[in-house]
Amino acid sequence: MKRISLIFEKPFEVGLREETLPKVKAREVLVKTQFSAISPGTEMLVYQGQMPFDMPLDANIKTLAQTLRYPLKYGYTAVGEVIGLGSAVKKDWLHRKVFGFHPHESYSVANPNELIPIPADIDPQAALFLSNMETAVNFVMDGRPLIGECVVVLGQGIVGLLTTALLAQFPLTSLVTLDRFALRRQKSLEMGASSSLDPHRPEVASTLARILSAHNGEGMADLVYEVSGNPEALNQAVSVAGFGARIVIGSWYGAKQAHLDLGRRFHRHRIQLRSSQVSTLAPELTGRWTKTRRFAVAWDMIRRVQPTQLITQRFPISRARQAFERLDQKPEETVQIVLVYDD
């Protein structure tokens, strides 16, 4: 049996390769992929050749545990249906709709404990947002927003938008987002932001200060999320953070360096920088929380947010090259691109 797999051949070049499907072992299942989502953050670092070459893609996920080396498969958001069972797998797995942290390929072979069954009330395309929704849930847990706070989110890519949607459910005084693309700013308002600004406008600093001053009298934020993927945004995060404010750094910059100015207001204002990464839970939460519990929250947030409204383009897997080119060359027109697999 054959499958079609997407291969990152080298920076800025992807192709499709026909492969012989591995034999399904006794404790494995065969999954037929229906949809996969292109990550506009981490996955574009792979596409653009901006990944670090000396570390695994994700040591906590079996399919991503390899060290980066072209050509390679990459991707971590696929949904499909179990169509075959190994002899030792329970029969109730057959025909289940499942989510897997798998690369873009038409079929995959996996152990059931590597798959997440999709609840019956959730559409398969909505389930594509599970990994990014889990990330957004993790950001909120690490940021710990308080009632009445002024929150700023830098970056309204897919993870930024989902984070905004979750923050909008809190009784905040103000929720301001920044993104350079008009489409994403509009989506941000639809997700619940009170204001969404262009960070490249010369008056953005004064506008943001005016908005925040109207709510807390100081013109500074209590909590800032940096999820733009741009290391230069860290200095902007520091510039809008108030005394003792928290900055949650959700971006992963890959091989890009962050040149952070810590010599001015950062030190005297006791600003806190916090790394937030979804592969693990914050140590102070592990006594009560598990990844299973966090996934349950992510599914519930998918029900509330209905994130399929963020899908801007769908491409058949046969046009994967054009999908990546679109995301790379015209990011202002995209939020979430989905690859569709033919029967």
User: Hey, what domains does the chain have and what are their CATH numbers?
Assistant: 2-128+306-340 (3.90.180.10), 138-283 (3.40.50.720)
Helices (H), 217-288: 233-240, 265-268
Q: How many Cα atoms occupy the beta-carbon half-sphere of 46 within 13 Å? A: 28
Sorting pLDDT into bands at 50, 70 and 90, what band is 67?
A: low
Q: Per the structure block, which two tokens stand in for 92? A: 């109730």
- Alpha carbons 52 and 57: distance in angstroms, whole number: 9
Could you report the per-residue pLDDT of 186-202, keeping only the tens digit for each? 999 999 999 999 999 99
Q: Per the structure block, which two tokens stand in for 158? A: 């897919």
**Three-class SS string for 124-144?**
HHHHCCHHHHHHHHHHHHHHC
Helices (H), 275-336: 291-305, 320-329
Could you report the per-residue pLDDT of 73-89, keeping only the tens digit for each? 999 999 999 999 999 99
Beta bridge partners of 196: 177
Q: Per the structure block, which two tokens stand in for 272? A: 């806190």
Q: What does the pLDDT read at residue 253?
A: 77
Q: Report the SS3 class of residue 235.
A: helix
pLDDT exceeds 80 at position 54: no
Could you report the per-residue pLDDT of 237-283, keeping only the tens digit for each? 999 999 999 999 998 877 777 888 887 788 889 999 999 999 999 99
What is the amino acid identity at position 60?
A: N
Sorting pLDDT into bands at 50, 70 and 90, what band is 24?
A: very high
Q: What does the pLDDT read at residue 69?
A: 85
Give the CA distances from residue 181 to residues 157, 175, 185, 334, in Å, rounded to whole numbers and listed in that order.
9, 18, 6, 9
